[in-house]
């Protein structure tokens, strides 16, 4: 073979080898990029706050991220491979119907709020969007559902509505304070003078007594109304709960003297538990709840005042529990609504004031059935100062 031809073949071989190496490097780079994209996609789905469920055109779930399993109250591994209809039981049927609607060729669900019933009967509001997934030919290949837990959003809406109600109450309170309280004081003062100076008996004496009694009741209603609308800012200080709860128990015993069937129990864990609170306002809260409990039990039963830490040691839970008849389910949702009461002669402002005080401390209050029967009110207070919480219950009136 001529040397010139051999040289050309050698050069061609070297160039071919270079191209093969470049092609292999490009393949490796493309493979690495594809692997990186897959990893990025997995990380995005794993850390996505919204739930995501992808199904094929037969309704078989191909993918579900951790948020989907958490929101739906199921295990992630229990979703993949199941049909949408089988994966979600009766409490989640509305979710399944939204996906099946799109798979059947119906309109996409752009935005809809649905309710899910999870374990232990817990109701969860969920905002869901479902859209079809199409292949390269335009044929529907499945559906993708994206959804979010709306619990915090709905709670924020409720707080905004509550603030609107409080603002309206504040506007009314100014006129009530001036238009009712002043003439009421004159009426009561005049009646007291008449009762002192006139020698009356029989029907006239009963009428004067009725005027004094009813004017006092109206004054109490106005005072409760203003206390609700004009709550002073909480002055929080580090307080030891053991002597605090024992003092509440003592005051309840004094108030319930003569009722031998009443038993009061206090429990604090740990024994030296401290919490940041306004002692005067929290005394009002616990006394109100405790006396309500005693009234519900008709002075016979066990009243329990307890304080514990949550598992993360970030929240102190105060519980007022009784062994009375409990809270009827139909009134539980309206307990903290102003002017709603089941008591004869009650103003319906005691529990709303309690809620406002707790909210001003950056905490929350919940009414529930006690484990051993009766009712219990759970108050969660943060162990650190939360200035945002205090701002949630502003003064509405200054008179």
Per-residue pLDDT tens over the stretch 97-138: 888 888 888 888 888 888 888 776 778 888 888 888 888 888
The label of the residue with tokens 């071919």 reads: 16
Q: What is the pLDDT of residue 171?
A: 66
Q: What is the pLDDT of residue 393?
A: 40
pLDDT tens across 370-382, in order?
A: 877 788 999 999 8
Q: Which residues, in sequence order, are bridge partners of residue 113?
A: 127
- Share the mean pLDDT of the chain: 78
Residue 265: count other Cβ atoms within 10 Å of its Cβ.
Answer: 11
Half-sphere exposure of 157 (CA within 13 A, CB side): 6
The superfamily CATH assigns to domain 46-149 is: PAS domain (3.30.450.20)
- Please count the helices (runs of H) and the strands (runs of E) in the chain: 12, 12
The residue with greater pLDDT, 319 or 205, is 319
Task: Identify which of 358, 350, 379, 359 has the alpha carbon closest to the alpha carbon of residue 367.
Answer: 379
Q: What is the pLDDT of residue 289?
A: 92
pLDDT tens across 2-57, in order?
A: 555 565 565 666 566 777 777 776 676 666 565 555 555 566 556 667 888 888 88
Q: What CATH number does domain 237-391 carry, 3.30.565.10, 3.20.20.30, 3.40.50.1950, 3.30.300.30? A: 3.30.565.10
Most confident of 80-94, 190-204, 367-381: 367-381
Rounded to an integer, the average pLDDT of 347-353 is 77
Task: Identify which of 152, 104, 153 has the alpha carbon closest to the alpha carbon of residue 130.
Answer: 104
Q: What is the pLDDT of residue 32?
A: 57
Check pLDDT > 80 for residue 77: no
Q: Are strands 123-134 and 109-117 parallel, antiparallel or unpaired?
A: antiparallel
Asked if residues 361 and 234 have their Cβ atoms less than 8 Å apart, the reply is: yes
**How much of the chain, in percent, has pLDDT values that exceed 90?**
11
């Amino acid at each position: 073979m001529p040397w010139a031809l051999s040289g050309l073949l050698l050069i061609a071989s070297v160039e071919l080898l270079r191209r093969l190496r470049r092609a292999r490097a490009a393949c490796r780079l493309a493979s690495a990029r594809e692997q990186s994209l897959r990893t990025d996609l997995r990380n995005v789905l794993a850390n996505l706050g919204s739930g995501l469920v992808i199904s094929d055109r037969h309704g078989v779930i191909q993918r579900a991220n951790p948020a989907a399993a958490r929101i739906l109250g199921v295990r992630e591994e229990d979703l993949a491979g199941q049909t949408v209809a089988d994966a979600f039981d009766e409490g989640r049927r509305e979710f399944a119907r939204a996906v099946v609607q799109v798979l059947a060729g119906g309109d996409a669900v752009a935005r809809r709020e649905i309710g899910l019933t999870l374990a232990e009967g817990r109701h969860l509001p969920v905002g869901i969007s479902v859209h079809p997934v199409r292949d390269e030919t335009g044929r529907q290949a499945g559906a993708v559902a994206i959804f979010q837990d709306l619990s915090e959003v709905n709670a924020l809406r409720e707080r905004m509505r509550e603030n609107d109600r409080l603002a309206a109450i504040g506007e009314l309170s100014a006129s009530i304070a001036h238009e009712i309280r002043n003439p009421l004081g004159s009426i009561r003062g005049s009646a007291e003078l008449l009762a002192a100076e006139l020698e009356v008996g029989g029907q006239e004496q009963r009428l004067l007594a009725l005027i004094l009694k009813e004017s006092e009741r109206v004054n109490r209603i106005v005072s409760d109304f203003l206390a609700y609308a004009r709550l002073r800012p909480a002055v929080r200080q580090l307080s030891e709960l053991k002597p605090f709860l024992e003092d509440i128990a003592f005051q309840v015993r004094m108030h319930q003297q003569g009722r031998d069937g009443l038993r009061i129990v206090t429990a604090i864990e740990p024994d030296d538990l401290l919490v940041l609170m306004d002692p005067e306002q929290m005394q009002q809260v616990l006394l109100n709840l405790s006396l309500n409990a005693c009234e519900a039990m008709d002075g016979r039963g066990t009243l329990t005042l307890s304080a514990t830490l949550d598992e993360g040691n970030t929240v102190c839970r105060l519980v007022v529990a009784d062994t009375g008849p409990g809270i009827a389910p139909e009134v539980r949702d309206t307990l903290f609504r102003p002017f709603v009461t089941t008591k004869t002669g009650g103003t319906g402002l005691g529990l709303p004031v309690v809620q406002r005080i707790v909210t001003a401390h950056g905490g929350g209050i919940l009414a529930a059935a006690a484990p051993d029967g009766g009712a219990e009110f759970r108050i969660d207070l943060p162990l650190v100062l939360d200035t945002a919480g205090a701002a949630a219950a502003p003064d509405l009136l200054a008179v």
